[in-house]
């Protein structure tokens, strides 16, 4: 009960929690939260159990738990699903795609954030406002015009003249289009704004150039926000479905989200294998989350204040 | 004489230095600006320009004025699709707007297992959106192999059609979207709640305000800005819904879950009516820009009232 006494802030304070009514209310709210956790967790648990069921079992038994479960069955199920789904190629592709997407986006957006935060050449404030406005622009309108421009990049409509490069079936439209993100630029600008000007001035007097200041001062002092944005970029790239689905038709270049979408349309894939496919697809992000939970939960605070 | 020259040389040199600084400073922003031009500004403008052209495949041929717009609006599907889209927005506000706020407020009050509960609640946000859609499609399976029907049968009810029930397909899709998106929104509110002035609670308590009154008169006004922002962002986001109907229902049953965004996809990439796709894109854009302006008006009013 000491936990209640220590609670001096918030909507429910220790004064409320002394009374029986306050305590009942608290535990009712607690129960509601547990119920919500159940709602978020039950589908995941069901997915795992169904994925481990025997192929004959899924359509005959409506039990929640698999009838037989052992380490051997677990390994067999994973191996069988893996062999049937053939995700290997697309997983390697997705790793490759995400890595380059991450490097490009971080490079482009941190540089831009640096320019708008510390360098501030004449006219940059106006341009930054323009960038903030682009955040407000609905994205759906760009789907088709962008696709047209990929056909003969960067000249867009001149497909008939045969100049420009056809970017379809390459990762370039995804990399380049994903590299610029107004929100990330704003995030980095705010992070760099927090770096004291006197440090930058001292470094300038010592003869440091702009690039040196960027790599030796700005980046090291903004590590949490860079990690946060890295996680967001990597998991965004990992789950990017629609763009790759349109652009990459070549099956050897296919990315994982498009691949699991195809799996969804494939009638020969049984439910247990299908769900195993979803687990495999979600795995990397779960691992990232397990390691970087602190940054994800903390980083959104930083973004959220601005949002 | 000598001094004067020196001064001039210094000045010239300084001018050159400043010019160089100006150029090198801009160079840092140039990649972002070029990409933004190529992938955001130009396609937005060209989408409008090309919507006024007759498209042959993916190439514009000749100017036809607003013909594409007339054809899109005259399509017998246009009004039902618009209504469907509004239905998505409506359900998403009913199902998805308040729960994250309430959950954030409640989690914020917890003294037991607060971090553990947060982590558990955050799970859906980590799963890729397309996997969530496909997972819920399985959970909604109309036979007894789907999770939800499994539960219904356990409680002695008969299996339900879920996504095949044309009246509520959109609601069920929205439920799956909410499941995916609420943890992120909840975190946003949670961080907003950290900024609430705690002294006001004390003052309100001393004045004899009950818990509900405190929530309404102290908590609510202080997170109002984030609330409105999310309200508008949610409308704008859901109005463009496309992947979920594509992955879960294919717009079915019988067009009951097709949205304007889904129609745009079909115009642009399935039925090859590219001009129509861009006209529809422009219509969606205009509707949403009005929403955004409305948001800024509302926000200004709120700021004035505070």
Q: Are B248 and B268 in contact (CB under 8 A)?
A: no
Lowest mean pLDDT among A98-102, A106-110, B6-10, B76-80: B6-10
Average pLDDT for A200-221: 89
Whether the bond into B5 is cis, omega within 30 of 0: no
Q: Give the gap in angstroms from C-alpha A61 to the nearest C-alpha of chain B.
A: 8
Query: Which chain A residues are within 8 Å of B145, Cβ to Cβ?
Result: 58-59, 62, 271
- For residues A48-76, give the mean pLDDT: 78
Cross-chain Cβ contact A300/B184 below 8 Å: yes
Using the beta-carbon criterion (under 8 Å), do B126 and A246 form an inter-chain contact?
Answer: no
Residues A225-269 pLDDT 10s: 898 889 889 988 998 999 999 999 888 899 999 988 988 888 788
CB-CB neighbors (< 8 A) of A30 in chain B: 110, 112
A257 touches chain B (CB under 8 A): yes
Quickly tell me which residue has 């961080």 as its tokens: B191
Give first-to-last CA distance, chain A, whole Å. Answer: 37
Query: Touching check for A48 and chain B: CB below 8 Å?
Result: no
Q: Is A115 exposed, middle or buried (0-12, 13-18, 19+ CB in 10 A)?
A: buried
Mean pLDDT, range A204-208, rounded to an integer = 88
Contact A109, A128 (CB under 8 A): no
Measured distance CA(B305)–CA(B27) in Å, rounded: 43
pLDDT in tens, A266-279: 878 888 888 888 99
Chain A to chain B Cβ contacts (< 8 Å): 281
Question: What distance in Å separates the CA atoms of residue A1 and residue B244, rounded to the nearest whole number?
Answer: 46
Residues 165-224 of A with CB under 8 A from B: 176-177, 179-180, 182, 185, 210, 214
Q: Kindly list the structural domains of chain A, giving each domain's residue range(s) and its CATH number in brackets, ordered by start.
A: 2-73 (no CATH), 86-306 (1.10.3720.10)
A122 touches chain B (CB under 8 A): yes
The nearest alpha carbon in chain B to A112 belongs to B29
Q: What are the contacts of A90-94 at 24+ separation with CB within 8 A?
A: A90/A254, A90/A255, A90/A256, A90/A258, A90/A259, A91/A256, A91/A280, A93/A253, A93/A254, A93/A255, A93/A256, A94/A237, A94/A238, A94/A255, A94/A256, A94/A257
Instruction: Answer yes or no: is pLDDT of A156 > 70.
Output: no
B219, B172: one domain: yes
For residue A97, pLDDT beyond 50: yes
Q: Residue B85 domain-assigned?
A: yes
Whether residues B31 and B146 fall in one domain = no
Domain residues for the domain of B174 are 67-305
For residue A306, the model assigns a pLDDT of 37
pLDDT averaged over every residue in chain A: 84
Which chain A residues touch B58 with a CB distance below 8 Å?
Answer: 147-148, 151, 159
> What is the pLDDT at residue B86?
94
Cβ neighbours of B216 (radius 10 Å): 12
Judge: A304–B247 Cβ closer than 8 Å, yes or no: no
Q: Closest partner residue to B59 among A13, A62, A160, by Cβ?
A: A160
The structure tokens listed for A35 are 């119920």
Mark whether B93 and B228 lie in a shared domain. yes
CA dist., res. A166 & res. B212, Å (int) = 61
Q: Quick one: B3 exposed, middle or buried, by C-beta within 10 A (0-12, 13-18, 19+)?
A: exposed
Of A82, A77, A83, A51, the residue nearest A64 (C-alpha): A51
pLDDT of A151 > 70? The answer is yes
Cα gap A40→A111, rounded to integer Å: 39
CB B35 within 8 A of CB A180: yes
Q: Which residue of B has its CA nearest to A305?
A: B192
Residues of chain B with C-beta less than 8 angstroms from the C-beta of A124:
25-26, 29
Read off the DSSP letter of residue B63. Answer: E
**For B191-215, b where at least 16 C-beta lie within 10 A, e where not — what string?**
bbbeebeeeebbebbeeebebeebb
Whose CA is closest to B129, among B269, B256, B241? B241
Reply yes or no on whether the pLDDT at A175 is more than 80. yes
CB contact under 8 A, A179 and B36: no
Q: Is residue B55 part of a domain?
A: no
When CB atoms are compared, the residue of A16, A44, A112 closest to B28 is A112
Instruction: Give the pLDDT band of residue A303 (cuts 50, 70, 90).
Output: very low
Tokens of B65: 């004025």
**In a structure prediction context, what are the per-residue pLDDT tens digits for chain B, which is 306 residues long?**
444 444 444 555 556 777 888 888 899 999 999 999 999 998 999 889 989 988 888 888 888 888 889 988 888 889 999 999 999 999 999 998 999 999 998 888 888 888 888 888 889 988 999 999 999 998 898 888 888 888 888 888 888 888 888 889 999 999 999 999 999 889 888 888 887 878 888 888 888 777 888 888 888 888 888 888 888 889 989 999 999 999 998 887 888 899 999 999 999 899 888 999 999 999 999 999 998 888 888 888 877 776
Q: How far apart are CA A101 and CA A236, in angstroms?
A: 10
Q: What does the alpha-carbon distance between residue A124 and residue B287 come to, in Å, rounded to a whole number?
A: 30
Residue B252 Ramachandran class (φ > 0 left, ψ -120 to 50 alpha, else beta): beta
Q: A162 pLDDT band (50/70/90 cuts)?
A: low
Instruction: Please give the Cα distance from A90 to A260 (Å, whole number).
Output: 10
- Confirm if B88 and B259 have CB atoms less than 8 A apart: yes
Q: Taking the C-alpha atoms of B133, B139, B143 and B144 in order, what is their torsion angle to the nearest 10 degrees? A: 170
Does B18 fall in a domain? yes
Q: Are B71 and B46 part of one and the same domain?
A: no
Residue B296 belongs to some domain of the structure = yes
Q: Which of A10, A29, A144 to mutate to test the interface with B (most CBs of B within 10 A)?
A: A144
Q: Closest chain B residue to A105 measured between Cα atoms?
A: B32
Please give the Cα distance from A202 to A216 (Å, whole number). Answer: 13
Shortest distance, CA A75 to any CA of chain B (angstroms)? 22
**What's the rounded Cα separation, in Å, for the pair A245 and A250?**
10
A207-215 contacts, C-beta under 8 A, 24 or more apart = A210/A119, A210/B24, A210/B25, A210/B28, A213/A118, A214/A110, A214/A111, A214/A114, A214/B28
What are the structure tokens assigned to B36, written together?
């933004």
Q: CB-CB: which of B24, B187, B268 is closest to A144?
A: B268
Residue B188 belongs to domain with CATH number: 1.10.3720.10
Position B23 in a domain: yes
Whole-number CA gyration radius for chain A = 25
Query: What is the reported pLDDT for B92?
Result: 94
Question: Are B190 and B71 within one domain?
Answer: yes
- Contact of A145 with chain B, judged by CB distance below 8 Å, is answered with yes
Structure tokens at B124: 């859906």
3-state secondary structure of B111: coil
Q: Do B284 and A62 touch (CB under 8 A)?
A: no
Q: Answer yes or no: do B35 and A137 touch at CB < 8 A.
A: no
Residue B152 lies in a domain: yes
Say if the Cβ atoms of B147 and A148 lie within 8 Å. no
Please answer yes or no on whether B187 and A300 come within 8 Å at the CB atom: yes
Closest approach of B6 to chain A, Cα-based (Å): 23
Beta-carbon separation of B109 and A278 below 8 A = no
Do residue B105 and residue B244 come from a single domain? yes
Neighbouring C-alpha atoms within 13 Å toward the C-beta of B110: 22
- Interchain proximity A297–B153, CB inside 8 Å: no
Q: What's the structural domain count of chain B?
A: 2
The partner residue sitting opposite A239, judged by closest CB among B110, B130, B278, is B130
B33 and B97 part of one domain: no
Residues from chain A contacting residue B242 (CB–CB below 8 Å): 140, 242
Same domain, B74 and B32: no
Task: Please give the average per-residue pLDDT across A212-236, as a whole number.
Answer: 89
Crossing angle of the two packed helices B114-126 and B98-109, in degrees rounded to 10: 150
What is the rounded distance in angstroms from the CA atom of residue B52 to the CA atom of residue A254? 34
The answer to whether residues B141 and B83 belong to one domain is yes
Window A:63-92, CB contacts with B under 8 Å: 64
Rounded to two decimals, the pTM is: 0.87
The reply to whether B23 and B148 lie within a common domain is no
Q: Which ipTM was obtained for this model? A: 0.85
Q: Do the domain assignments include residue B58?
A: no
Give φ, ψ of A243 to 5 degrees. Answer: -55, -55
Looking at the fold, whether B141 and B12 belong to one and the same domain comes out as: no
Q: Are residues B190 and B250 in the same domain?
A: yes
Phi, psi of B118 (to 5 degrees): -55, -45
Q: How much is the pLDDT for A157? A: 59
Decide if pLDDT at A186 tops 60.
Answer: yes
Nearest to A140 among B106, B141, B240 (CB): B240
Contact status of A242 with chain B (Cβ, < 8 Å): yes
- Judge: B131–A260 Cβ closer than 8 Å, yes or no: yes
Given this model, what pLDDT does residue A298 score? 66
Phi, psi of B102 (to 5 degrees): -65, -45
Torsion angle in degrees (nearest 10) through CA of A263, A268, A274, A276: -110
- Residues A84, A235: Cα–Cα separation, whole Å: 25
CB contact under 8 A, A180 and B118: no
């Amino acid at each position: 009960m000491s936990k209640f006494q220590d609670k001096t802030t918030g909507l429910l304070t220790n004064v409320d929690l002394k009374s029986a009514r306050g305590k009942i209310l608290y535990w009712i709210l607690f129960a509601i939260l547990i119920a919500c956790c159940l709602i978020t967790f039950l589908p995941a648990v069901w997915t795992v159990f169904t994925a481990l069921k025997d192929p004959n079992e899924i359509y005959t038994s409506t039990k929640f738990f698999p009838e037989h479960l052992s380490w051997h069955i677990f390994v067999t199920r994973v191996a069988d699903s893996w062999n049937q789904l053939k995700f290997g190629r697309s997983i390697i592709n997705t790793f490759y795609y995400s890595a380059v997407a991450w490097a490009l986006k971080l490079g482009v957006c941190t540089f831009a954030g640096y320019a708008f935060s510390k360098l501030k050449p004449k006219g940059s404030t106006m341009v930054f406002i323009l960038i903030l406005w682009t955040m407000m622009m609905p994205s759906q309108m760009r789907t088709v015009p962008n696709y047209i421009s990929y056909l003969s990049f960067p000249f867009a409509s001149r497909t008939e003249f045969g100049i420009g490069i056809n970017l379809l079936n390459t990762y370039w439209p995804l990399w380049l289009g994903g590299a610029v993100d107004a929100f990330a630029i704003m995030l980095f600008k705010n992070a760099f704004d927090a770096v004291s000007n006197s440090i930058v001035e001292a470094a300038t007097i010592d003869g440091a150039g702009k690039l040196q200041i960027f790599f030796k001062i700005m980046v090291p002092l903004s590590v949490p926000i860079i990690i946060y944005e890295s996680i967001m970029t990597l998991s965004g790239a990992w789950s990017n479905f629609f763009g790759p689905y349109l652009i990459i038709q070549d099956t050897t270049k296919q990315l994982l989200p498009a691949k699991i979408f195809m799996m969804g349309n494939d009638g020969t894939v049984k439910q247990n294998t299908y769900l195993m496919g979803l687990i495999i697809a979600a795995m990397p992000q779960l691992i990232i989350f397990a390691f970087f939970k602190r940054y994800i939960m903390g980083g959104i605070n930083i973004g959220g204040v601005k949002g | 004489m000598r001094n004067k020259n020196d001064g001039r040389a210094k000045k010239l040199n300084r001018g050159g230095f400043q010019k160089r600084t100006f150029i090198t400073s801009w160079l840092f922003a140039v990649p972002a600006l070029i990409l933004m031009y190529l992938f955001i500004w130009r396609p937005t403008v060209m989408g409008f320009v090309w919507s006024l052209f007759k498209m042959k495949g993916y190439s514009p041929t000749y100017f036809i004025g607003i013909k594409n717009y007339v054809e899109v609006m005259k399509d017998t599907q246009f009004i039902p699709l618009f209504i469907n889209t509004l239905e998505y927005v409506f359900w998403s506000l009913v199902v998805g707007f308040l729960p994250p706020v309430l959950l954030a407020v409640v989690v914020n009050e917890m003294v037991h297992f607060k971090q553990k509960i947060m982590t558990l609640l955050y799970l859906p946000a980590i799963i890729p959106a397309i996997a969530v859609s496909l997972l819920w499609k399985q959970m909604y399976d109309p036979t007894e192999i789907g999770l939800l029907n499994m539960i219904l049968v356990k409680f002695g009810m008969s299996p339900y059609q879920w996504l095949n029930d044309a009246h509520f397909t959109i609601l069920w899709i929205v439920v799956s979207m909410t499941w995916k998106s609420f943890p992120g929104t909840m975190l946003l509110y949670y961080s907003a709640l950290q900024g609430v002035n705690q002294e006001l609670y004390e003052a309100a308590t001393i004045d004899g305000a009950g818990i509900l009154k405190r929530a309404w008169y102290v908590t609510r006004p202080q997170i109002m800005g984030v609330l409105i922002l999310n309200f508008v962002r949610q409308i704008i986001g859901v109005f463009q819904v496309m992947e979920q109907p594509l992955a879960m229902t294919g717009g079915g049953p019988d067009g009951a879950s097709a949205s304007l965004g889904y129609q745009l996809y079909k115009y642009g990439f399935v039925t090859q009516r590219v001009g129509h796709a861009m006209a529809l894109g422009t219509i969606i854009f205009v509707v949403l820009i009005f929403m955004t302006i409305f948001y800024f008006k509302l926000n200004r009013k709120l700021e004035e009232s505070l």
